Amino acid sequence: MLHKISVPTPYPVGPVNAYLIAAKPCTLVDPGPDTREAREVLQGELDRLGVPLDRIERVLLTHFHTDHCGLASWIHSLTGAKIHIHPYDLKKLSGNHDFIKERMLFVREAGVPAEILEEILQDRDKLPPPSVPPGSVVPTVEGTEIPFEGGSLQALHLPGHATGHLCFYDPAGKNLIAGDFLLPHITPNPFLEPDPLHPRRRNPSLRHYLEGLERLLAMDIELVWPGHGEVIDDYRKLVAEVQEHHRARCDALVGLLREHGPCTAFELSRVTYPHLKGFNIFMGLSEVQAHLDVLVEEGRVKMEKRDGVEYYFL
């Protein structure tokens, strides 16, 4: 019933995994970015699998990032397929969502200098902001049942990489379509973004992510179908490795504060990831800020705000 389709992207992460669920109503999960190459590959693979594009009735999106959701609107325009996405991420699919502007308060609090901010802003996405047309969306939240002939999927709200990130669980087959929540070769970036319920507060991305990992460990899963890379058949081992990675990152930041004294999140990110350029600077900052937030919650690190900038110390 579940078929993995590797769709090319213009990003360093490489191809994205789209998933075809061939049982009626025929469904695509994360169809890929809106490029001509991605359209051609997706159509070709659907034809090869015997489910041409005009038979697609539903699109499930794990989250709003362009490499996953870009083709959803195009598919809807051709087939009328409804698009399922979490309401938190739907707000970002207006077509004019400004990724950095929405986060500017937190970028300033992190102490990012003006010239570095300009470097980040100049490194724009290769593709235009994705959007979905009015009337095409089915808001999908924790616990939503998505029925098929012979079974169903359950929507799981597992934020961390995005505030509205969804995974889809097949209880009969014990499959988890994981999007970017669990990846075989990298840890997903705990992006710096506002709390969707309190936009002037920083979202506790890494805490949410770590809580989601514990939730997965309590589930009965045989295979994890990730947003990038190969299918994961020993997810518990991978979860343990990811948990250890984040513990080690927290310990390393404590060590840097012990060595350097009070620092901003930006300063720590430049020590941790000294060679990053352009938008990748923001991604490195997100990693460091998310771990600092966990360390402050745990009482291992203190934070003091001076002139609107946050400084961390032991």
- Reduced 3-state DSSP string for the chain: CEEEEEECCCCCCCCEEEEEECCCCCEEECCCCCCHHHHHHHHHHHHHCCCCHHHCCEEECCCCCHHHHCCHHHHHHHHCCEEEECHHHHCCCECCCCCCHHHHHHHHHCCCCHHHHHHHHHCCCCCCCCECCCCCEEECCCCCEEEECCEEEEEEECCCCCCCCEEEEECCCCEEEEECCCCCCCCCCCCCCEECCEEEEECCHHHHHHHHHHHHHCCCCCEEEECCCCCECCHHHHHHHHHHHHHHHHHHHHHHHHHHCCECHHHHHHHHCCCCCCHHHHHHHHHHHHHHHHHHHHCCCEEEEECCEEEEEC
pLDDT over 90 percentage in the chain: 94
pLDDT of 95 strictly over 90: no
Q: Is the pLDDT score of 6 beyond 90?
A: yes
- Inform me whether the pLDDT recorded for 274 exceeds 90: yes
Residue linked to tokens 């002939």: 149
Which of 117-126, 169-178, 197-206 comes out lowest in average pLDDT? Answer: 117-126
C-alpha 169/C-alpha 48 separation (Å) is 26
pLDDT band at 98 (very low <50, low <70, confident <90, very high): confident
- CB-side exposure of 239: number of CA atoms within 13 Å? 19
In the prediction, which pLDDT does 124 show?
A: 84
- Dihedral of alpha carbons 85, 91, 96, 98, sign: negative
233 pLDDT higher than 90: yes
Where residue 150 falls among pLDDT bands split at 50, 70, 90?
Answer: confident
Is the model's pLDDT at 96 over the cut of 90? no
The whole-angstrom separation of Cα 257 and Cα 313 is: 6
**Residue partners of 268: CB distance under 8 A and separation at least 6:** 253, 256, 257, 288, 292, 312
Q: How large is the C-alpha radius of gyration of the chain?
A: 20
Predicted confidence at residue 244, as pLDDT, reads: 98
- pLDDT (average), residues 29-36: 98
Confidence of residue 97 (pLDDT cuts 50, 70, 90): confident
Helix axes 279-298, 235-260, angle to 10 degrees: 90
* pLDDT value, residue 134: 86
User: How high is the mean pLDDT of the chain?
Assistant: 96
Task: State in Å, rounded, how far the first CA of the chain is from the last one.
Answer: 53
